[in-house]
Amino acid sequence: MTGPLRSVVLAYSGGLDTSIIVPWLKETYHCRVIAFAADVGQGAELSGLSRKAIASGADEFLVEDLREDFACDYLFPALAAGAVYEHSYLLGTALARPLIARRQVEIALALGADGVAHGCTGKGNDQVRFEMTYRALAPQLRVVAPWREWSIASREEACAYAAERGIPVPVTTGKLYSRDRNLWHCSHEGGPLEDPGQAPAPDLFQMTAAPESAPEMPHDVTIGFDHGRPVTLDGRRLSPARLVTALNAIAGEHGIGRVDLVENRLVGMKSRGVYETPGGTVLVEALRALESLTLDRETARFLQTASLRYADLVYAGQWFTPLRAALDAFVGSALATTTGETTVRLHKGRATAVSRRSPYSLYDAELGGFAMAGYRPADALGFISLTGLPMAVRAERFGPAVPLRKDTTGTVHVKAGGRVAARRSSAAPRPRSARKAAPRAAAAGGRR
């Protein structure tokens, strides 16, 4: 879309990118700029934003506390779904974007703005996440993405642009980390981290202590869940945001939740991110332990499949889609009985579930123990026969699944009376062709 703009609502963070976008919008489009900041748990980063935005040229500044919405409507549903991207990333940034973009759209519509803008780079995932939300909620709004329009090509040039206009930014050309912090995590990218062979500097981390310098004594925390959602911390009932905040402080002190990941970006390239998710890491461990009591095998297996798809949807900015809503419905049904408590032990960077209990537990100590009470061993014969039937039929038709030795060379023989006679193997190793003979024969038999 091209042409003039009257008014634009900018998703404003006060970082390098959005700090220079304010004057750029004024200079390029000569439009009214409304800077909107969403409080999703950035903490001190919000301090002084209003003065900074207005000083940068914004006509208006708005800020809204969305921490409870973030935890209740985005973090906890993703937690219940088991959404983890590429084994490690708990999606802290990806989960915040649809919430911020939704509120940005609502404000734009309420104030009569005809455009929305963001500071995401043209190489990153966040541009997709913001703009997928815009399209899902208000496709009539014009989207301005400066990193796809202006001539600035690097963060060094962005710093120079800011310096020319006297705009203070929390980045210098000597320390070019790109950070995103919220209630769930803190991410670090760029600068020295762009070399995956270089370890993160010790002073990089902001939410977690170094595991090696964490307290020597373990610390146990108990998380209470109701239908798969965290509700209590050590017996205290807390709101979602307060629970995450409190757990972040405890787990961070023990060095919990650090991840150094080279991930596959949605837009095609690999990138390296270092993430700190202290409270979230503990909650994932606690919920998985509780699910081991309350979920049957088939539901647990299907939840694993749904978890991968859910994580991909979140990562790709497809929060406001029918599939994500449908997966939430499945997760809500699957975890309807996942109520109870898990105790997690925190110690030098590790969070380990050490106990779990639930009034809906499917665990039966009598059945799960070694005693045969309440169980008929003979019943296993039918199960084994039916489960193993395909293997037995194949072996009868084509021979054993692998070649079998028909000698006892090299075996230690113990005879009655305790006399031990050892035989040393003199046979040469079988050639690889012999090891493959049976599979080839079986395949040939199958072709007949």
Measured between alpha carbons, how far is 35 from 116 in angstroms, rounded to an integer? 10
Measured between alpha carbons, how far is 440 from 12 in angstroms, rounded to an integer? 65
Measured between alpha carbons, how far is 59 from 74 in angstroms, rounded to an integer? 31
Active site residue 405: no
Catalytic one of 13, 17, 142, 324: 17
Catalytic one of 19, 56, 103, 126: 126
191: which DSSP letter? G
- The answer to whether the CB of 8 falls within 8 A of the CB of 144 is yes
Measured between alpha carbons, how far is 312 from 85 in angstroms, rounded to an integer? 7
Strand 340-347 and strand 350-357: the pairing is: antiparallel
- The answer to whether the CB of 246 falls within 8 A of the CB of 238 is yes
Catalytic one of 13, 19, 56, 97: 97
Which CA distances in Å does 224 have to 250, 263, 352, 360, 386? 16, 32, 16, 14, 41
Block residue for tokens 């909620």: 137
Please provide the distance, in angstroms rounded to a whole number, between the alpha carbons at the two ends of the chain. 64
Catalytic one of 178, 187, 271, 358: 178
- The answer to whether the CB of 274 falls within 8 A of the CB of 294 is no
List all residues 6 or more positions away from 138 whose beta carbon is below 8 Å from its beta carbon: 105, 108, 109, 116
Active site residue 220: no
Nearest to 222 by CA among 367, 132, 308, 351: 351
- The answer to whether the CB of 315 falls within 8 A of the CB of 273 is no
Block residue for tokens 């690889």: 432
228: which DSSP letter? T
Measured between alpha carbons, how far is 200 from 287 in angstroms, rounded to an integer? 30
- The answer to whether the CB of 312 falls within 8 A of the CB of 327 is no
Active site residue 97: yes
Any idea which residues carry the catalytic annotation? 17, 97, 126, 178
